[in-house]
Structure 1
């Protein structure tokens, strides 16, 4: 039966904490998965959550800490001593431990590293902290099972047993030469069926997909997705095997990138959450709102230039929101499709062929929608020339918005700028301005004002 975090259960936990009844608390939490414990801790205040962390064994709390929201984890870590943090890190995979280390102040980082008695782990954490957190080096874990191609099968099995004690899940077995360069991978089936006296060099598979420590995380994700990999080895500049990236870590990375792109597309310039401070939320949201305000003021000045025309054809004013809305909607649709295609690496072909495709699509959509508007205007008795001006303007605006929404993300991507920025207020505001400008100029040509 799936665990349910109820109000009654939380109240019971809080009561046991107040009573400092550690034995009853440990017994109550003993059968609960660490992910559910993390959900519980997020409902407690930082003092109560820290009490639970200190009470439970590190093999449970280390996993629990990694499931917590970063802000909650930061508050708990602030209440732990460097020695207590080090005890938690020892139980984590090196990549998770490196992530936790990165969240600490530099002074605390040094104190925690000094408290780690495992010199190899301490050295790994120092090395991992030097890589960009969005690169393969920043995403990899040092724990893996590797064998040398010169070993016999019997010796290989003994060594694998020793190494596997430090690896949470064994996805793959990697083969290296005497110096440690990655040369291939090993099939468990081939290992189990080979004679004991045979050598790894006789049975290993020399073809293996890998990435370097400098490979961008998004490129790693694409490679793992393309070849359905559960794990991928990481090598340094000299081809030495230095770590591996597993699918669970890659899923976390993809989720974080998707959340960041979603906020960027919504016009939020920083990574924020709903419970962040008012100051932080304002700083993240205000810049794009200012851009929208500037765009709105620009539209006002454009409409002022046609004030005389609005006196003569007041009906044009009432269709302005429709034109602006269609420009924004079409632009966001087009840019969203292209941004998704760029992320999945499926935007192929020449720019001219894509231009022709978008032009054809926008013509079909524009004419269809324009006919609906003209038909509606005739039903309500609008003059034919006014209906024609609105319809032609709508077609032109949809073509313009579609082209901008398609090519702005492509150009941003070629310039090394995240194209997700093009699906938010940037596209909406620019299309609103150009849409209104096109609307009134076409109306002026047709209505002769």
Structure 2
């Protein structure tokens, strides 16, 4: 039966904490999964969660802390001593331990590292802190099972048992030479069926996919997706095996990247979260709103320059929101497709052919929507020439918006800037301005004012 967290259970835990009834708490939460412990931490106060962290076994609480939102975890860590934090890190793989430490000040980091009992574990953590957070080095864990090509099968099994004690889950067994260069992988089936005196060099598989420690997280994700890998080894520039990245780590990375891109596309700063303070959310939104305001004021200024046209043909004003909306929507559609393609590494081939394709799509969509606009204009008495002018302007706007929405993300990506920024207010605002300018320029040309 699944463990269920109810209001009565939370109230019971809070009462036990208040009474400092440690025996009852330990009995109640005995063998409860760390994910459920994390959910309990979410439902109680930071002080109460800290009390449980200090009381429960570090093997459970360390994994539970990894499940928490970063802000809540940071609040709990602030209430723990360096030695207590070190006790939690002793139970974690190096990649998770680095995530913990990165949320602490430099001074506390040093104190925690000094308090870690396992010196090798501490050295591995310090090494990983030197890598970029979203690089293969920042994502990898040092814990893995490696065997040498010179070992016999019998000796290999004994040494694998010793290594496996420090590895949470064994996805692959990697084969290295005497200088720790990655040369292949070992099939457990081949290992189990081989003669005890056989050498690993006779049974290992030399074909193994790997990533460089400085590769980006996006490159790692693409490789693992392409070859359906559960884990991928990480090497340095010399081919020395340093660690491994597992599927759960790369999924967390992909989720974080998707969340970041979604916020940027919506016109928020990358760090904005739903439970942030009012001031933090205001700072995340205001810069983009200012950008939108500047763009809108630009559009107002363009309309002001055509003030005479509006006096002669005031009905032009009625179609202004339509043209601006179409420009913004088409631009966002085009840029969203390109951003998604860039993220999946699917944007290949000639840029000019892609732009030509967008022109073709814009022509088809523009003609279809133009026919609808002309029909609407004639039905509601706006006249043939005005309806044709609006339809022509909208066709032109669609083509230009599609080109801008396609070209800008590719340009940003080429310049090393996250192209997700193009799908938000940036594209919408720029296309609004282009749309208004094109609309009134064509109206002036076709209506002759």
- TM-score bin, normalised by smaller chain: over 0.9
Give the CA deviation at 1:280.
2.2
Question: What does 1:319-358 correspond to in 2, within 5 Å?
Answer: 319-358=319-358
Give the CA deviation at 1:178.
0.7
Q: Within 1, Cα distance between the matches of 2:187 and 2:324? A: 60
Question: What does 1:142-221 correspond to in 2, within 5 Å?
Answer: 142-221=142-221
Give the CA deviation at 1:26.
2.0
Q: For 1:245, what is the secondary structure of its paired residue?
A: strand
Q: Within 2, Cα distance between the matches of 1:171 and 1:20? A: 42
* Alignment RMSD: 1.0
Give the CA deviation at 1:282.
2.2
Q: Within 1, Cα distance between the matches of 2:18 and 2:296? A: 56
| Runs of 5+ consecutive residues of structure 1 not aligned to the other structure | none
- The C-alpha deviation readout for 1:338-367, integer Å capped at 9, x for no partner, is 000000001111011111111111111111
Q: Within 1, Cα distance between the matches of 2:445 and 2:198? A: 86
Give the CA deviation at 1:315.
1.3
Give the CA deviation at 1:27.
2.2
Q: For 1:185, what is the secondary structure of its paired residue?
A: strand
Give the CA deviation at 1:283.
2.1
Q: For 1:319, what is the secondary structure of its paired residue?
A: helix
Give the structure 1 partner of residue 250 of structure 2: 250
Give the CA deviation at 1:66.
0.3
Q: For 2:130, what is the secondary structure of its paired residue?
A: coil
Give the CA deviation at 1:32.
2.8
Give the CA deviation at 1:45.
1.2
Q: Within 1, Cα distance between the matches of 2:328 and 2:27? A: 57
| Runs of 5+ consecutive residues of structure 2 not aligned to the other structure | none
Q: Within 2, Cα distance between the matches of 1:355 and 1:332? A: 15
Q: Within 2, Cα distance between the matches of 1:65 and 1:335? A: 38
Give the structure 2 partner of residue 96 of structure 1: 96
Give the structure 2 partner of residue 440 of structure 1: 440
Give the structure 1 partner of residue 79 of structure 2: 79
Give the structure 2 partner of residue 136 of structure 1: 136
Give the structure 2 partner of residue 415 of structure 1: 415
Give the structure 2 partner of residue 374 of structure 1: 374
Q: For 1:394, what is the secondary structure of its paired residue?
A: helix
Q: Within 2, Cα distance between the matches of 1:31 and 1:197? A: 42
Q: Within 1, Cα distance between the matches of 2:426 and 2:379? A: 36
277-286 or 156-165, which deviates more: 277-286
- The C-alpha deviation readout for 1:256-295, integer Å capped at 9, x for no partner, is 1111111111111231212212332222221111110100
Give the structure 2 partner of residue 279 of structure 1: 279
Give the CA deviation at 1:34.
1.1
Give the structure 2 partner of residue 302 of structure 1: 302
Give the CA deviation at 1:69.
0.4
Give the CA deviation at 1:375.
0.7
Q: For 1:274, what is the secondary structure of its paired residue?
A: coil
Give the CA deviation at 1:299.
0.6
Q: For 2:183, what is the secondary structure of its paired residue?
A: strand
Q: For 1:229, what is the secondary structure of its paired residue?
A: coil
Q: For 2:92, what is the secondary structure of its paired residue?
A: coil
Matched, 1:427 2:433: no
Q: Within 1, Cα distance between the matches of 2:2 and 2:294? A: 52
Matched, 1:318 2:318: yes
Q: Within 2, Cα distance between the matches of 1:57 and 1:377? A: 74
Matched, 1:395 2:395: yes
Q: Within 2, Cα distance between the matches of 1:39 and 1:402? A: 46
Q: Within 1, Cα distance between the matches of 2:187 and 2:292? A: 57
Q: For 1:446, what is the secondary structure of its paired residue?
A: helix
- The C-alpha deviation readout for 1:350-394, integer Å capped at 9, x for no partner, is 011111111111111111111111111111121111101111011
Give the CA deviation at 1:31.
4.1
Q: Within 1, Cα distance between the matches of 2:52 and 2:68? A: 13
Q: Within 2, Cα distance between the matches of 1:266 and 1:3? A: 37
Give the CA deviation at 1:13.
1.8
